[in-house]
């Protein structure tokens, strides 16, 4: 039998098993009409570069679900894919061009698109490799890209369908404009940042009279596009001015003073400059009062011909020049500091410019209504539930979605303009003639669609829609949509709307939101943003192995809650893998040592006779029941934590150590069936979380099992363990819980009094109901606690001894540890006395500080609270030391318990 290596080397086994799984075709489900499939359509990663730990979390959580359902015998589809990520990818490639001193305009649309395709193909290959590195068991035979022919046809079909229903329209509206990307942005693509700026008070001279109307603004450069000054109709300060006019400084254009309920009388002076071409609120006021729109900026945020003498200046340079000119004319009244929120492009971080522009929009309210009902009536469940309210709030207040982008990378809008009759033809296929007049003079709209438009179709476009494919009929709707909560509106809500619109059915039954992985500064990890580089999962995988990284990302995690990941968590994951490896190695070596005898032991079907065997079997089955319930409730982090606690503590630290004592003494019955059986089921329990080490160990164990205990060729298609409530043994658990408590309390005392590891100490245990059971475990407790002689008696047999001893009062027993031979009494008294005096001195210093009025008056409240907490901790420690001193002087009828004895 091949010997299991002493140390686990993940790099040597991970690729071996992933290639094995791929070769066997385990990731590709077959359509079985008799079974309900489990389906996850992977959120498509943007082809903007490498993945980061946030993607690794997504992949790990989805792989946990997929592997678990596959082990439950369900046809399981996890369909992978990537997103062309229009604006984000174009920005990345433009930046690469800029480093070469070139622009996309210089090389033209065709060559630029070719460069982006090259970048996208390279990124897709790397993203696929990274997912495989993570152990993602997705069906690579069904992999999709949003610009593949199938999804592209779905995009055109969806657009044309909405257009003919009147749900897609073209119109001039106020939109968000990025001057750097030179494209429209949806509201969701704008990131609002709090900026410490200024409020500028500008005097507008009254037309044909004396005096001024002073307005306050954060953007003085936009006054050039003002078409009115608005005041509140009930503001007494300006009642007499309504209907008059003021003159715009410098350009000397008269504009009216109007009254509108939207004016906030508490902002600035209560008089509001109205710039309808550059502010959404002003645009609404202008519409009510039939005011003209004066656009003063070019698409690149330089000033245009309407800016008069400031034409050609970039917007911030224009601001400086305007302020200087106003100051020279005595029209800049004052400047005040002012903090306000300013929109920035989510992809390039440029300040967004509100702008009236001709764009394509989706009328979303008719689509939102059925999507709201799908969640209200329970057809779609959102986890965690707190996001339901957020979903409803956004959907009930949804605004039309701007879907056109002035980019070169993406799905071209399937609309053609006739040069003869000026009408529009919307078509899935490229038309040869105008559908209205028959002319062949057609020009396609140069814009592309918002990348989220194609993503909204992802649940059905990946399965073949609009064609009626076998995959679409069997795998739609999906089971779970798992993603980060920050794209609930970008993507999840839109998938629900478009799934219902195109398929007449919900796109998935459950939405599971995980939290965000944040870096040390609390920033969300994002590979497309310019401010810093997120960690590539390959880095920690190279140091710790895949299973350790997966463990670090998911253990203890809860739905919808953010988490930070650092070295400590990765090391903890590696330590657990090593613990599992070493425990398994001991069990496998023990099976090898048993030789032919091991082939006759009923490893997976033996009935436990000894109490510790019944205990571990009961604990294992309770774990299986708990884990199954937690997995069904999507509490994956807690499920993994419970498996970890069982394997590390109950199995490795207690049962295996007890089994070692039995194996050394060669007592019957052998613990081997329960060592091997518990390991085997633990590996299957753990496999969805840590696939590689569990496969490696499981395969090694299978080689040593009798023929009747053989299982499938891979752990990933072996059945997930089922709990057997007949194995629950509460009495065995009660006894072993007491054994563990007794041993742990003795070990704690040994550590507290710094007893040498090889030194035996005397211990006396007194109990009543468990007397015979604990006597049966005496040899185990003696060896585990290094306690000899170990006497176990009934409580009534306990007399009063004048020996100095520690008495530990436990749940089912009392443990008496004579100090003679364990502790040098006089030396220990001196040590404890000295430490007590030192602590008393520190307490006195803290008490004096907390009585000092000067300190209390000047120190921050947090500092005072910290000092109070220090004082409380020192007082508690002093009490413990004094208790230990009293125990050194007391006979064994003193039932007090030393510090740390309770484990």
φ and ψ at residue 518, rounded to 5 degrees: -115, 150
Mean pLDDT of 761-780: 90
Question: Six-digit token pair at 633?
Answer: 């409730």
pLDDT tens-digit series, residues 461-499: 999 999 999 999 999 999 999 988 887 788 899 999 999
Reply yes or no on whether the pLDDT at 744 is more than 70.
Answer: yes
pLDDT tens-digit series, residues 147-177: 999 999 999 999 999 999 999 999 988 889 9
- Number of alpha carbons in the 13 Å side-chain half-sphere of residue 719: 6
Among the ranges given (187-191, 403-407, 575-579), the one the predictor scored with the smallest mean pLDDT: 187-191
Reply yes or no on whether the pLDDT at 892 is more than 70.
Answer: no
CB 361, CB 173: distance < 8 Å: yes
Reply yes or no on whether the pLDDT at 595 is more than 90.
Answer: no
pLDDT, the chain, mean: 90
Among the ranges given (458-467, 705-714, 804-813), the one the predictor scored with the smallest mean pLDDT: 705-714
CB 692, CB 574: distance < 8 Å: no
The distance of Cα 23 from the centroid of its chain, to the nearest Å, equals 32
Mean pLDDT of 663-684: 91
Please name the residues in contact with 545: beta carbons below 8 A apart, sequence gap of 6 or more.
8, 10, 11, 14, 574, 577, 692, 693
Q: In the prediction, which pLDDT does 897 show?
A: 44
pLDDT tens-digit series, residues 449-471: 999 999 999 999 999 999 999 99
Q: In the prediction, which pLDDT does 888 show?
A: 62
Strands 415-418 and 401-402: unpaired
Q: E-assigned strands of 267-388?
A: 272-274, 332-345, 353-362, 381-383
CB 88, CB 119: distance < 8 Å: no
Query: Which DSSP string do the residues of 212-268 spell out, in sequence order?
Result: EEEEEES-GGGGGG--EEEE-TT-TTTGGGTT-EEEETTTTEEEEEEE-TT--TTST
Among the ranges given (606-610, 624-628, 717-721), the one the predictor scored with the smallest mean pLDDT: 606-610
Mean pLDDT of 345-367: 91
Q: In the prediction, which pLDDT does 601 show?
A: 67
Reply yes or no on whether the pLDDT at 797 is more than 60.
Answer: yes
Q: Is the dihedral of CA 209, 215, 221, 225 positive or negative?
A: negative
Q: E-assigned strands of 529-583?
A: 563-564
Using CA atoms, how far apart are residues 208 and 362, in angstroms rounded to an integer?
A: 47
Reply yes or no on whether the pLDDT at 899 is more than 50.
Answer: no
Best mean pLDDT range from 62-76, 172-186, 192-206, 693-707: 62-76
Long-range Cβ pairs for the range 91-100 (8 Å, 24+): 91/181, 91/347, 91/348, 91/528, 92/48, 92/49, 92/119, 92/528, 93/119, 93/409
The distance of Cα 523 from the centroid of its chain, to the nearest Å, equals 12
Mean pLDDT of 423-434: 96
Question: What three-state secondary structure class fits 642?
Answer: helix
Task: For residue 557, name the pLDDT band (cuts at 50, 70, 90).
Answer: confident
Reply yes or no on whether the pLDDT at 741 is more than 80.
Answer: yes
Provide the 10 A C-beta neighbour count for residue 879.
Answer: 11
Mean pLDDT of 79-103: 93
What is residue 499's DSSP assignment? H
Question: Six-digit token pair at 551?
Answer: 């463990």
Among the ranges given (18-32, 128-142, 567-581, 792-806), the one the predictor scored with the smallest mean pLDDT: 792-806
Reply yes or no on whether the pLDDT at 188 is more than 90.
Answer: no
Using CA atoms, how far apart are residues 374 and 245, in angstroms rounded to an integer?
A: 53
Using CA atoms, how far apart are residues 121 and 114, in angstroms rounded to an integer?
A: 11
């Amino acid at each position: 039998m091949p010997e299991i290596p002493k140390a686990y080397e993940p790099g040597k086994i991970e690729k071996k098993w992933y290639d094995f799984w791929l070769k066997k075709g385990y990731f590709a489900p077959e359509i079985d009409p008799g079974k309900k499939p489990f389906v996850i359509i992977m959120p498509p990663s943007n082809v903007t570069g490498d993945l980061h730990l946030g993607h690794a979390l997504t992949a790990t959580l989805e792989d946990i679900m997929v592997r678990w359902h596959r082990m439950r015998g369900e046809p399981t589809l996890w369909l992978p894919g990537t997103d062309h990520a229009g604006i984000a990818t174009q920005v990345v490639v433009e930046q690469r061009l800029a480093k070469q001193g070139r622009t996309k305009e210089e090389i033209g649309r065709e060559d630029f698109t070719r460069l982006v395709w090259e970048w996208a193909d390279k990124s897709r290959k790397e993203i696929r490799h990274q997912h495989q590195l993570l152990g993602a068991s997705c069906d690579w035979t069904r992999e999709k890209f949003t610009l593949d022919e199938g999804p592209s046809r779905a995009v055109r079909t969806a657009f044309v369908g909405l257009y003919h229903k009147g749900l897609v329209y073209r119109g001039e509206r106020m939109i968000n404009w990025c001057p750097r990307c030179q494209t429209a942005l949806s509201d969701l693509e704008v990131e609002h940042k709090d900026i410490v700026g200024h409020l500028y008070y500008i005097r507008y001279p009254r037309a044909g009279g004396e005096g001024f109307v002073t307005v306050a603004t954060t953007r003085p450069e936009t006054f050039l596009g003002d078409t009115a000054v608005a005041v509140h109709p009930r503001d007494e300060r300006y009642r007499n001015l309504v209907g008059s006019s003021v003159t715009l400084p410098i350009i000397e254009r008269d504009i009216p003073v109007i009254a509108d309920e939207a004016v906030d009388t508490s902002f600035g002076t209560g008089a509001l400059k109205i710039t309808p071409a550059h502010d959404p609120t002003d645009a609404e006021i202008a519409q009510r009062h039939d005011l003209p729109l004066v656009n003063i900026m070019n698409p690149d945020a330089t000033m245009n011909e309407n800016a008069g003498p400031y034409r050609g200046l970039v917007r911030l340079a224009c601001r400086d020049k305007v302020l200087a000119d106003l100051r020279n004319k005595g029209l800049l009244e004052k400047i005040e500091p002012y903090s306000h929120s300013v929109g920035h492009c989510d992809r390039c971080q440029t300040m967004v410019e509100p702008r009236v522009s001709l764009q394509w929009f989706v009328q979303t309210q008719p689509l939102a209504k059925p999507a709201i009902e799908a969640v209200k009536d329970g057809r779609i469940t959102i986890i965690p539930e707190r996001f339901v309210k957020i979903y409803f709030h956004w959907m009930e207040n949804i605004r039309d979605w701007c879907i056109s982008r002035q980019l070169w990378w993406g799905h071209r809008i399937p609309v053609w303009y006739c040069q003869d009759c000026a009408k529009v033809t919307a078509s899935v296929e490229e038309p040869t003639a105008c559908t209205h007049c028959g002319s062949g003079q057609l020009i396609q709209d140069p814009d592309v669609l918002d990348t989220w438009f194609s993503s909204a179709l992802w649940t059905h476009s990946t399965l073949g829609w609009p064609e009626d494919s076998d995959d679409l009929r069997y795998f739609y709707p999906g089971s779970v949509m798992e993603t980060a909560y920050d794209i609930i509106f970008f993507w999840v809500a839109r998938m629900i709307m478009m799934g219902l619109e195109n398929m007449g059915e919900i796109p998935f039954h459950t939405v599971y939101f995980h939290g965000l992985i944040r870096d040390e500064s609390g920033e969300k990890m994002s590979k497309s943003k310019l401010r810093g580089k997120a960690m590539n999962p390959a880095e920690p995988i190279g140091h710790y192995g895949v299973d350790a990284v997966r463990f670090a990302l998911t253990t203890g995690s809860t739905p919808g809650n953010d988490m930070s990941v650092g070295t400590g968590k990765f090391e903890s994951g590696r330590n657990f893998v090593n613990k599992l490896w070493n425990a398994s190695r001991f069990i496998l070596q023990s099976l090898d040592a048993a030789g032919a005898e091991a082939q006759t032991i009923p490893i997976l079907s033996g009935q436990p006779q000894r109490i510790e065997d019944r205990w571990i079997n009961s604990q294992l089955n309770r774990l299986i029941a708990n884990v199954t319930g937690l997995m069904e409730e999507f509490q994956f982090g807690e499920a993994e934590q419970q498996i970890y606690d069982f394997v590390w503590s109950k199995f490795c630290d207690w049962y295996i150590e007890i089994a070692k004592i039995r194996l050394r003494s060669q007592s019957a019955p052998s613990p081997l069936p329960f060592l091997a059986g518990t390991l085997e089921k633990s590996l299957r329990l753990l496999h969805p979380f840590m696939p590689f080490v569990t496969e490696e160990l499981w395969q090694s164990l299978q080689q040593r099992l009798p023929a009747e205990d053989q299982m499938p060729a891979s752990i990933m298609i072996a059945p997930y363990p089922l709990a057997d409530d007949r194995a629950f043994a509460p009495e065995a658990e009660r006894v072993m819980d007491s054994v563990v408590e007794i041993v742990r309390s003795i070990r704690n005392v040994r550590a507290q009094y710094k007893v040498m590891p090889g030194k035996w100490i005397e211990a006396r245990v007194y109990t009543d109901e468990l007397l015979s059971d604990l006597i049966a475990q005496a040899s185990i407790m003696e060896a585990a606690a290094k306690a000899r002689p170990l006497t176990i008696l009934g409580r009534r047999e306990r007399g009063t001894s004048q020996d100095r001893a520690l008495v530990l009062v436990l749940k089912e027993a009392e443990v008496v540890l004579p100090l003679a031979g364990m502790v040098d009494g006089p030396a220990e008294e001196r040590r404890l006395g000295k430490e007590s005096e030192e602590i008393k001195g520190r307490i006195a210093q803290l008490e004096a500080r907390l009585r000092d009025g000067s300190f209390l008056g000047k120190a921050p409240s947090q500092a005072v609270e910290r000092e109070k907490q220090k004082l409380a901790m020192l007082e508690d420690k002093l009490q413990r030391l004094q208790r230990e001193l009293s125990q050194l002087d007391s006979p064994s009828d003193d039932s007090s318990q030393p510090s740390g004895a309770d484990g």
